[in-house]
């Protein structure tokens, strides 16, 4: 059954003839395939053979020792990690141990492409202009800072869940089948990213009769949120947060979430901060906010709500992430300059950078739909192309934190050979894990999972 379009949903796209199923299908297929390809090759090939952080110590180790699917609902660090555990369990069950990091990177690349396609589909409720929705999808794939550590690993895939959650909460599916399928996606995402609980604040503003097609999505989010809250209560975090000054949080947001949009190289970023402080990123952020205000002025009910959420959420998500994980900042807390440099280009700026960047295509899409002139379409299209071009240029300077250690596959083969040699081992074989860690497995565990 096809559902009626909400009364306040923009209809500018329908007049262009682009809102046809075959066009949408082609674009989505291109985003999935092209997005997976782009994500996979955004880091050097050698970095595909590196296991990152919790992908080893939590998702791999617990899947090996407790069973791949027995740990799906097991909390860690205060919340659930459903998608990483599900993917890790599937890989551990089907793939030799030495291929684990490559399999994880491929799986994450495909999922990133799927997220890009999902954003393109879901955003049409509030962003009717197709070029603007395409730009939103490309933000998923090209946000410069994500190349440092977020792409290609399960430990940080929750970032893409949070980004997708924004479009899930504002989407109005066109069929009941689509609505229930998106509800499953929403549940899986909020069971992976605890910060998505904040999106529940939007539900009262969307719980209108005309929004009934979105209610299953709200139900999926609510169910996952309840589970996450229970996990927070029963699986507390290890480290208590440190008190951080307002200047630290604001300057950190400007340096990590804003400056990284065009300069993801830490050395070049330090030069900018040494010369002008956070003035340049502050001006850029201010310009984006002004554009967002224009979108709010001329947008509909949901569009205004979306833009407010993107602008406020960009800073709020960064602040919450930084404060909640601030224990690692203790060695730098006494020196503001050193602290600001340390906050450059850390993963907490990726989702906030996505949110702030999204204000540009959303606002342009609103203005094009509102005034619908050829000149505005041309100017808007040029602005979107310029934004994506800045991202592409910055991607060539983006840093990957995966390098510097021995290859995982080589280390696994060497450890298995050592185990099979019959020579008594002084300790369990150890495998390299980035950044700068080791994973210890017994010979029995190694031999059972090796190809």
What residues contact 114, with CB distance under 8 A and at least 6 apart?
32, 35
**Residue (of 142, 180, 181) closest to 163 by Cα position:** 142
Same-domain check for residues 26 and 147: yes
Same-domain check for residues 384 and 417: no
Residue 210 in any domain: the answer is yes
pLDDT score, position 350: 96
pLDDT score, position 295: 97
Residue 1 in any domain: the answer is no
Taking CA atoms, 310 is separated from 54, 74, 346, in Å, by: 29, 31, 20
Taking CA atoms, 130 is separated from 15, 52, 148, 369, in Å, by: 11, 36, 30, 11
Same-domain check for residues 31 and 96: yes
Same-domain check for residues 343 and 436: no
Same-domain check for residues 419 and 300: no
Q: Looking at the 3D structure of the chain, how many domains does it have?
A: 2
Same-domain check for residues 441 and 293: no
pLDDT score, position 12: 43
Same-domain check for residues 364 and 424: no
Residue 64 in any domain: the answer is yes
Same-domain check for residues 116 and 161: yes
Tell me the pTM: 0.93
Same-domain check for residues 366 and 444: no
What is the C-alpha separation between 376 and 91, in angstroms, rounded?
A: 48
Same-domain check for residues 346 and 413: no
Residue 5 in any domain: the answer is no
Q: Could you say which of 372, 395, 418 is where a domain stops?
A: 395
What is the C-alpha separation between 54 and 437, in angstroms, rounded?
A: 11
Positions of the chain with pLDDT under 70: 1-19, 239-240, 330-337, 423-426, 451
Q: Could you say which of 395, 422, 440 is where a domain stops?
A: 395
Domain span at residue 231? 12-395
Task: Retrieve residue 350's tokens.
Answer: 């990726």
Residue 4 in any domain: the answer is no
pLDDT score, position 3: 43
pLDDT score, position 7: 36
Taking CA atoms, 235 is separated from 78, 81, 194, 307, 325, in Å, by: 5, 13, 13, 34, 16
Residue 192 in any domain: the answer is yes
| Residues forming a β-bridge with 79 | 76
What is the C-alpha separation between 441 and 451, in angstroms, rounded?
A: 16
Same-domain check for residues 444 and 315: no
Same-domain check for residues 320 and 359: yes
Residue 6 in any domain: the answer is no
Residue 219 in any domain: the answer is yes
Say how far residue 41 (Cα) sits from the centre of its chain: 17
């Amino acid at each position: 059954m096809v559902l009626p379009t909400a009364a306040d949903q923009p209809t500018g796209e329908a007049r262009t003839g682009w809102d046809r199923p075959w066009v949408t299908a082609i674009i989505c297929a291109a985003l999935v395939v092209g997005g997976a390809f782009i994500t996979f090759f955004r880091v050097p090939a050698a970095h595909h053979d590196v296991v990152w952080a919790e992908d080893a110590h939590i998702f791999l180790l617990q899947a090996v020792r407790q069973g791949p699917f027995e740990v799906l609902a097991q909390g860690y660090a205060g919340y659930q990690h459903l998608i990483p555990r599900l993917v890790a369990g599937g890989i551990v069950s089907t793939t030799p141990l030495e291929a684990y990091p490559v399999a994880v990177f491929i799986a994450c690349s495909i999922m990133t492409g799927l997220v890009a396609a999902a954003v393109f589909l879901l955003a049409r409720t509030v962003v009717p202009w197709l070029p603007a929705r395409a730009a939103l999808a490309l933000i998923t794939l090209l946000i410069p800072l994500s190349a440092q550590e977020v792409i290609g690993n399960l430990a940080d895939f929750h970032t893409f869940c949070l980004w997708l959650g924004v479009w899930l909460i504002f989407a109005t599916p066109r069929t009941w089948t689509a609505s229930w399928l998106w509800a499953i996606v929403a549940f899986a995402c909020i069971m992976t990213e605890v910060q998505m609980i904040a999106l529940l604040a939007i539900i009262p503003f969307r719980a209108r009769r005309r929004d009934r097609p979105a209610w299953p999505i709200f139900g999926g989010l609510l169910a996952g949120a309840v589970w996450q809250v229970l996990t927070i209560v029963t699986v507390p975090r290890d480290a208590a947060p440190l008190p951080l000054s307002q200047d630290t949080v604001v300057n950190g947001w400007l340096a990590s979430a804003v400056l990284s949009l065009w300069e993801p190289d830490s050395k070049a970023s330090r030069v900018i901060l040494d010369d002008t402080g956070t003035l340049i990123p502050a001006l850029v952020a201010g310009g984006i906010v002004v554009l967002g205000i224009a979108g709010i002025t001329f947008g509909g009910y949901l569009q205004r709500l979306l833009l407010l959420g993107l602008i406020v959420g960009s800073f709020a998500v960064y602040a919450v992430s930084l404060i909640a994980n601030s224990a690692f900042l203790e060695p730098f807390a006494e020196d503001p300059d050193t602290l600001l440099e340390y906050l450059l280009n850390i993963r907490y700026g990726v989702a906030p950078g996505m949110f702030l960047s999204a204000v540009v295509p959303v606002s342009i899409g609103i203005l094009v739909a509102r005034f619908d002139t050829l000149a505005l379409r041309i100017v808007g299209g040029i602005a979107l192309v310029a934004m994506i071009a800045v991202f592409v240029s910055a991607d060539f300077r983006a840093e990957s934190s995966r390098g510097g250690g021995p290859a995982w596959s080589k280390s696994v083969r060497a450890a298995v050979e050592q185990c099979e040699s019959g020579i008594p081992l002084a300790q369990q074989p150890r495998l390299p894990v980035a950044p700068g860690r080791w994973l210890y497995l017994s010979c029995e565990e190694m031999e059972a999972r090796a190809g």
